[in-house]
A = this chain, B = another copy of it.
């Protein structure tokens, strides 16, 4: 009955930079994975999202669906009336984010396959000449 924090103040732009503006909308931990689920993995329903490999918390899931619907990236459709059930689809704007995801995936496959995440880092100077 009372939306409080997460759904109230939607983010304002940090700057005029288009990259920053895009990240203000979808630059959090989960939004782009939801776009991936819907646009690339044919997942459309609440339960489908919960069955994704990443197990996103249900409150965050609900919030992101709401936010991205409000932004116009997603569209919420009732697919069943009498027990009211819903599914989410990408709008044109949402669909046009897929090339970003494909670039990310491509980068990941080229550069990250089997990347070993270091445990403890000191990050001191003195370039290793990785160029």
Contact = CB atoms under 8 A, between A and B. Distances in A.
B15 A53 contact: yes
Interface residues of A, number: 75
A3 interface: yes
A68 B91 CA distance: 34
A70 B18 contact: no
Contacts of A112: 18, 21-22, 25
A32 interface: yes
A14 to B, nearest CB: 5
A19 B107 CA distance: 9
Contact of A125 (B28, B84, B111): B84
Interface of A: 3, 7-23, 25, 27-29, 32-33, 36, 52-54, 65-67, 69-72, 75-78, 84, 86, 89, 91-93, 96-97, 99-101, 103-105, 107-113, 115, 117-123, 125-131
